[in-house]
Structure 1
């Protein structure tokens, strides 16, 4: 798993105006949970769902959404065999739309053969 500088704005800042999505305000609430990201990715009991692409209105083949603690969400994007890039992490009060999506499935492309 790799973290890139460009993803920190999205994960640890909030928008003053949701419509503009400017990510102009440092979120202390999100910063307090920075260590939750690793814990979520390693949690064997996390709920795993496929990520949703709002633009194409279909599920991503390379995105995994992990949910722990009832409503904490971590999204990663697979980039190759056993490689992924952090996308974002957040708390969401109503995650019913995420839970109603299909379960994440391990593919040969990103996980190789099952042992």
Structure 2
């Protein structure tokens, strides 16, 4: 499996945090993860070994898959091995990596990339 056309949203994340600390964004505006996103983080996500920038609790990394070729699997959270298995089917699709804090509901898209099988 290989990723290409990767887009990083780290700069946007840093800007949101600067705006929060400067009082230009409220906690409610940043910490808006819905039930589905939090549940996916708990059940499919992996511990990032990194503290939430808002509350200090542990962050979880969740992978979401998108693409017409995925059929009913599109728009769902998947574990890394599931992504490898789907790519092995010869499908090309997009993966969004989202960090989520289940405690305070902070969430941010970290990166998006097109995934495809090698060779």
TM-score for the superposition, normalised by structure 2: 0.33
Q: Which has the larger radius of gyration?
A: 2
Q: Which has the higher helix share?
A: 2
TM-score for the superposition, normalised by structure 1: 0.34
Structure number with the bigger relative contact order (C-alpha 8 A, sep ≥ 6) is 2
